[in-house]
Amino acid sequence: MKDTKITSWLNSSYLSGDNQTYIQSLYDTFLVNPNSVEKEWRIFFSKIYNEELKKEQLSKKKYHINTTDPYATILKKYKISQLVDAFRKDGHKNARLDPLNLYQKQTIPNLNLNYYNLSETDLCIDNNVNFFEKNNQLSSTTDLYQNLKKIYCNSIGFEYMHIEDNKEKIWIQNYIERFVKEHFLNKEEKRKILKKLIYAEELEIFLSKKFPGAKRFSLEGSETLIPMLHEIINYSGSLQVSDILFGMAHRGRLNVLINVFGKKERNLFNEFSNSYQDHFKSGDVKYHLGYHSKIKYNDKFINLILKCNPSHLEIINPVVMGCSRAYLDMLNKYDTNKILSVVIHGDASIAGQGIVQETLNMSQTQGYNVGGSIHLVINNQIGFTTSDKKNLRSSDYCTDIAKIINCPIFHVNADDPEAAIFVTRMALDFRFNFKRDVFIDLVCYRRRGHNEADDPNVTQPIMYQKINKHPTVQKIYRNHLILKNIINKNYYNKIKYENKCKLEEEYSFFIRHKINNINKNKKYKIKQNIEIKKLSFKELKNIGISINTIPYEIDMHPKVRKIYQDRLEMIHGRKKIDWGTAENLAYASLVSQGISCRLSGEDISRGTFFHRHSVIHDQSNGSIYIPIKNIKNKKGKFYIWDSVLSEESVLAFEYGYSSTNNDILTVWEAQFGDFANVAQVVIDQFICSGEQKWGYKCGLVMLLPHGYEGQGPEHSSARLERYLQLAAEDNIIICIPSTSAQIYHILRCQVLKSLTKPLIIMSPKSLLRHPLSFSDFTELQHKNFLAIIDEIDSIPVEFLKQVIFCSGKIYYDLLQQRRINKQNDTAIIRIEKLYPFPKMLFSQIMLSYTNVLNFIWCQEEPCNQGAWNYIQPNLQKLLPINSSLKYIGRPASSSPAVGNFYIHQKQQKEIVNNALNTYLIKG
């Protein structure tokens, strides 16, 4: 019954605000059991209820009643409705989810009839509640109660009532209550499930016998994952999906590679052997490796891509998202139904690692949306040696994090593979209907230790006593199918025997040939055929005019209007080109030549330092205008996305994007350079080592604002020393461009050159508006990026007493002070490319300074930071014999910079003066 009277009374009463909720709850309690509230409230509520009852009878919008007591009947109807809602909301708490029965089910009072003062007799009344089953109606509410328990408290726990979108909630509700799980699979489908379980279990047993003690992070206890993944592939094949991208950690990876991706067993056996050598530079352990294969479905192929994953388990999530978005952007027509991302989590890691929250938070934003992902959790109910929920997490479920973006969550008992297939289909239907993430929590166990060398009985004696006695899911399901007369023992034994023969045959081949393993870890991508030519002066000027001439109807902010007016002056040669103009010209020139650009980062469209303004915000209506998107006859695409306030997930996303499509210029900018600290795992384990470990090519550009401006320790240093420590074997490029022409050329070179490497740019802050850093327009057209910039003033070489080497902003401090001092005895050379160090160019420049014996490296950063420890051995090898190399800069420090502006200025002045006068200082 509607409670409009109580609502109306509360709204007009002094009992508003917080009290209103309390009164409403009392009234709800009264409706369920009038005697449960105090007498005064009971009298009051009875009056309100009787008035509502009269309205119901007069409106003729009432239930069919087979009793002479309308009050009692309507109250029972209300109670039944409350009961149904209770099962939908809390039924999962009483579901039979844990195969081991380690934990007692929660006692949920509102799932019991006694809670509503209902008996079996009370339930035997004609009902027409909003609950769906076979014929959209049940014969009695006794049947209703039994069906509620059967659907909501069985092998599946449905969590969806937290979803705010009613369409999604009702869709899930109808899906659950209209389908009967027992009859949705035919006999042949059930046999196929059993086959997959046999293959999964037998592979683990075979590996344990042939390679005892070797780490494999077995799938035992969660073998149901294999038929679930096959279901995902088959479902995708029935639609228009062309590519499925997978990300997963160690657990079960080897099994998935063999039994889902079709990797040859002989290749896996070879990886277990001591003679195995990867064809990459250093390679990686076998349970980190990815794979690519094509699966035929009817008359088409589906590409399956499993991404390599380091031991930072959940970091693969945003990488897979980035790869998926790259595939989507490469399609002729953007269609999220073409690309599906599937991420497999562990229960401890999904609850424990913050990257999960970061990834979910950005999953529905414009620049990072991939149309929803399928999340599968292998819930072992243990994290390494920790199994007590009180120590694992603070939430009830490991998947509670999914509720922050209203994801449906389906918990399922891994010992019921048919239930697992049911929720897999349901999850896929939901994803393709609503383009949103969905979670499946596969509640299982871990039959072995964390790895095969680990003894779990030491820390989990009770759990492993149960596991040792517990039958495998394959045996449970086999017995079920035999009982149902779907298979017999002969059929079962035949499947096992054939699978065993195959494994033995593959092992024999491996023993005989000791094959040279080939990991099909190659990148699958669409290669663009782009003809690149150098732009003429006229072409570049036309592009500059095009992107800086803003339509008159755009109401620009006065400051932005002035910036664009100045940019037009620069294009016409009346002013020098500043940093923001040169950078936008680089992107626009690439787009005009058919090369797409993707920029992302916190506030990247405007720029943290108010310099970029690639997106103009109309001051009248809030609309946006992107000048680069409006170039005439443009061939490439221009994407620019202000990201969520996250570094780790966004940088990982952009790494995945760039490693999937190297034909696009992908740029990520940190708001301040030191913000990249938060994403260090992405830098260490993907960007700087991905090519050597896995053969992944990546052309990602990282813009890291760097420079000592007296703003304290947190926003001075981009930690240049860390990238130089990670640099080896030509794995990355590290540059500190000091002019606007240099940033123009380096961005273009990054995507036009044939060699694909990540590019780390220590970008400036104050130099963005420093007149000395501006370039002539002709420098953009005629010159190229210079790895080293020699002395620019006319200083006679014979007068030189010393040469200063430096990088970045300190150069202009030295230059200006030298000009003030009118010194002609000191040359200043900028090293713009630190890694790989430009040895040949440096040696050529040094031919002009053979008579100089005093050389200096000058930097703003403390001695134990910055480039000094890296640059010192490189310089000393190439300097003239008998010459000296001295360090000028801040002393070693545990902090990147001082916090006091006065001290900063004093330090900066001392560094500049000491560098310019070092040759005068004895010793």
Residue 527, domain member (yes or no): no
Domain finish residue from 467, 497, 513: 513
Confidence (pLDDT) at 279: 58
Domain finish residue from 513, 528, 552: 513
Q: Measured between alpha carbons, how far is 255 from 230 in angstroms, rounded to an integer?
A: 13
Contacts made by residues 274-283, CB under 8 angstroms, sequence distance 24+: 275/514, 276/517, 277/516, 278/517, 278/519, 279/516, 279/518, 279/519, 279/695, 280/692, 280/693, 280/694, 280/695, 281/691, 281/692, 281/693, 281/729, 282/692, 282/693, 283/693
Q: Measured between alpha carbons, how far is 671 from 711 in angstroms, rounded to an integer?
A: 14
Residues 896/862, Cβ–Cβ less than 8 Å: yes
DSSP H stretches of helix in 260-416: 265-272, 316-330, 347-352, 355-362, 389-392
pLDDT at 922 over 80: no
Identify whether residues 804 and 723 lie together within a single domain: no
Give the pLDDT band of residue 125 (cuts 50, 70, 90): low
Confidence (pLDDT) at 66: 45
Q: Measured between alpha carbons, how far is 359 from 610 in angstroms, rounded to an integer?
A: 28
Residues 708/897, Cβ–Cβ less than 8 Å: yes
Residue 524, domain member (yes or no): no
HEC-encoded secondary structure of 170-213: HHHHHHHHHCCHHHCCCHHHHHHHHHHHHHHHHHHHHHHHHCCC
**CA nearest to 760, candidates 706, 695, 692, 825:** 706
Identify whether residues 595 and 723 lie together within a single domain: yes
Confidence (pLDDT) at 2: 45
Identify whether residues 817 and 670 lie together within a single domain: no
Task: Compute the average pLDDT of residues 325-354.
Answer: 94
Side-by-side strand order, sheet with 733-735? 638-642, 597-601, 665-669, 701-705, 759-763, 733-735, 833-835
pLDDT at 282 over 90: no
State the amino acid at position 255 in one-letter form: N
Identify whether residues 316 and 425 lie together within a single domain: yes
Bigger pLDDT: 558 or 275? 558
Span 58-85, pLDDT tens digits? 543 443 434 455 666 777 778 888 889 9
Confidence (pLDDT) at 272: 85
Highest mean pLDDT among 271-275, 382-386, 737-741: 737-741
Identify whether residues 318 and 465 lie together within a single domain: yes
Bigger pLDDT: 492 or 123? 492
Identify whether residues 499 and 454 lie together within a single domain: yes
Number of domains in the chain: 4
Identify whether residues 314 and 288 lie together within a single domain: yes
Q: Measured between alpha carbons, how far is 766 from 478 in angstroms, rounded to an integer?
A: 71
**Structural domain boundaries enclosing 545:** 537-782
Span 569-596, pLDDT tens digits? 999 999 999 999 999 999 999 999 999 9
Bigger pLDDT: 402 or 137? 402
Residue 398, domain member (yes or no): yes
Q: Measured between alpha carbons, how far is 374 from 28 in angstroms, rounded to an integer?
A: 38
Share of the chain above pLDDT 70, in %: 88
Is the whole model's pTM more than 0.85, yes or no?
yes
- Give me the residues paired with residue 922 across strands: none
Give the pLDDT band of residue 343 (cuts 50, 70, 90): very high
Identify whether residues 693 and 717 lie together within a single domain: yes
pLDDT at 196 over 70: yes
Span 397-407, pLDDT tens digits? 999 999 999 99
Residues 52/3, Cβ–Cβ less than 8 Å: yes
Residue 676, domain member (yes or no): yes
Residue 400, domain member (yes or no): yes
- CATH number of the domain bearing residue 775: 3.40.50.12470
Span 526-538, pLDDT tens digits? 444 455 577 899 9
Residue 519, domain member (yes or no): no
Confidence (pLDDT) at 560: 96
Bigger pLDDT: 38 or 145? 145
Task: Compute the average pLDDT of residues 823-846.
Answer: 96
- CATH number of the domain bearing residue 863: 3.40.50.11610
Q: Is 358 helix (H, G, I), strand (E, B) or coil?
A: helix
The backbone torsions φ and ψ at residue 649, rounded to the nearest 5 degrees and listed phi first, read -70, -40
For residues 159, 163, 167, 171, the Cα torsion angle rounded to the nearest 10 degrees is -10
Contacts made by residues 623-628, CB under 8 angstroms, sequence distance 24+: 625/550, 625/551, 625/554, 627/546, 627/547, 627/548, 627/550, 627/584, 627/588, 628/547, 628/584, 628/587, 628/588, 628/591, 628/597
Return the H-helix or E-strand segment holding 501.
helix 489-513
**CA nearest to 367, candidates 198, 153, 600:** 600
Identify whether residues 80 and 217 lie together within a single domain: no
Rounded to 5°, the CA angle 616-619-623 comes to 60
Residue 531, domain member (yes or no): no
Bigger pLDDT: 240 or 922? 240
Tell the residue number behind the tokens 């380091």, with chain if given.
Answer: 310
Span 769-814, pLDDT tens digits? 999 999 999 999 888 999 999 999 999 998 899 999 999 999 999 9
Q: What mean pLDDT, rounded, does the chain reach?
A: 88
Confidence (pLDDT) at 824: 92
Domain finish residue from 753, 782, 811: 782
- CATH number of the domain bearing residue 278: 3.40.50.970
Confidence (pLDDT) at 275: 64
Identify whether residues 823 and 762 lie together within a single domain: no
pLDDT at 651 over 50: yes
Share of the chain above pLDDT 90, in %: 70
Identify whether residues 447 and 313 lie together within a single domain: yes
pLDDT at 34 over 90: no
Span 434-477, pLDDT tens digits? 999 999 999 999 999 888 888 999 998 999 999 999 999 999 99
Residue 127, domain member (yes or no): yes
> HSE of 735 in the Cβ direction (CA atoms, 13 Å)?
27
Identify whether residues 455 and 366 lie together within a single domain: yes
Confidence (pLDDT) at 51: 65
Span 747-770, pLDDT tens digits? 999 998 878 999 999 999 999 999
Q: Give 3-state DSSP helix, strand, coil % of the chain, rounded to 5.
A: 50, 15, 40
